[in-house]
Amino acid sequence: MRILAYTYLAAYHCVDCSYKEFGVEIISKIDSFGNSSMAMTGKHIPDEEPHSILDLDENDIPIDQVDDEGSSVHPIFDFEDSWELDPDFIAENPTQHLACEDCHKILARYTVTV
């Protein structure tokens, strides 16, 4: 089961664009005494709110991430069929595309056979 996209700010976003917005980088630190530790940095990771590496999904995005509207960032998995398809619209447009709101990359195609 692979993450195909994420939903946030009321739209779909590809993994790359989602990582640019919410992804974190894990950094190894060694202090002056030779002790090593790990830290995470990212656009939405404040210093006073540490996360564990276990709190990240497969794309290094925190599993409890929220967007600027306060809504949860949800992964969309490649097996999900969560599209709401309007029958009248489908009659005229049988092939639907799931595209990234930011870069417009087509993430999936769905063709309805009648």
| Number of independent structural domains in the chain | 1
- What's the rounded Cα separation, in Å, for the pair 11 and 30? 40
pLDDT in the model for residue 88:
74
Q: List pLDDT tens digits, range 29-50.
A: 787 888 877 666 677 665 555 5
Q: In the chain, which residue ranges form alpha helices assigned H by DSSP?
A: 15-22, 87-92
Listed range (16-20, 37-41, 108-112) with the worst mean pLDDT? 37-41
> Which stretches of the chain are assigned E, i.e. beta strand?
3-8, 11-14, 24-30, 36-42, 74-77, 95-99, 106-111
User: Which residues share a beta bridge with 98?
Assistant: 108
Sorting pLDDT into bands at 50, 70 and 90, what band is 85?
low
The domain in which residue 94 lies consists of: 3-111
Q: State the distance between the two ends of the chain, measured CA to CA, in whole angstroms.
A: 28
User: Does the pTM of the predicted model rise above 0.85?
Assistant: no
